Amino acid sequence: MKKRPGLASMFAVYRRELLSYLTTPTAYVFVAVFLFAIGLFTFQVGGFFESRRADLTGFFAFHPWLFMVFLPAVAMRLWAEESRSGAIELLMTLPAPTWSLVLGKFLAAWTVAAAALVLTVPLWATVNALGAPDNAAIFTGYLASLLMAGAYIAIGSAMSALTQAQIVAFVLAVFASFLLTALGLPLVLDFFSSVVSGGVAEAIARFSILHHFDAAQRGVVELRSVFYFVSLIALCLSFTALAVDARRGG
């Protein structure tokens, strides 16, 4: 009668969470606004047509900055809403391992992000109609973007586990995401190099999301960057599980 207990729980949580995204307007609004914003940035700010090049670099360049705001909004309800409504008590008195709940919720939010990415396919079709882009590089870009989205959602999930208020989870997640993204920016780097030696500042930059996303934008999948995003996700989800389990202590 029983499947592997943890996996069955994970899929049950995943389905419920995804259904909840589909039956409430929030996810649709976020995806729609994200698509509008990415279009605006790509065409207006990124100069998609003016650059007269058939590629999507102008499109991908804005992903970290948009994800940083949109994905915390998708992830903010994951745990905060459970605590506010009290349903967390129900969830935590079911004989399911904590990791299965954490992973199920994370995967559902990641699916929403993936759906938003899939809906940008018309842009890809446009560059292919206009010229002959390097489709392998574009594919790599999408892959890197998807991994990066996972990292932002994992950060959002961790912040959501800390509070009952979705808006607090959102603000904390945007802040944490900004720090982690901007570590690689000259602005922040300059600050660090004024405090610590250049070598250390360089090392700090290597921990930034931007650093690893940019590497992937050059069309090569660096194992290092894949490893970076996967570890970041694992780290944030472990933190989420710890924060959720800490409730049992009162």
Residues that bind another protein (CB under 8 A): 1-3, 5, 8-9, 11-13, 15-16, 19-20, 23-24, 85-87, 89-97, 248-250
Decide whether 75 or 96 has the Cβ nearer to another protein: 96
Task: State how far the Cα of 211 lies from the Cα of 178, in Å rounded to an integer.
Answer: 13
Contact in structure between 211 and 180 (CB atoms under 8 Å): no
Q: Which CB sits closer to another protein, 148 or 244?
A: 244
Question: CA 184, CA 202: separation in Å to the nearest integer?
Answer: 9
Three-point CA angle 61, 64, 70, nearest 5°: 125
Question: Residue 162 — left, alpha, or beta (φ > 0 → left; ψ -120 to 50 → alpha)?
Answer: alpha
Residue 162 CB, nearest approach to another protein (Å):
18
Residue 79 tokens read as 């745990």
Among 100, 240, 82, residue whose Cα is nearest residue 157: 240
Q: How far is the CB of 109 from another protein (least distance, A)?
A: 16
For another protein, the closer of residues 103 and 209 by Cβ is 103
Under DSSP, is residue 37 helix (H, G, I), strand (E, B) or coil?
A: helix
The distance of closest approach from Cβ of residue 78 to another protein in the complex, given in angstroms and rounded to an integer, is 13
What is the per-residue burial (b if ≥16 Cβ within 10 Å, else e) of 111-120?
bbbbebbeeb
| Residue (63 or 77) nearer to another protein, CB | 77
Q: Which is nearer to another protein, 95 or 199 (CB)?
A: 95
Between 1 and 129, CB nearer to another protein: 1
Distance CA 222, CA 228 (A): 10
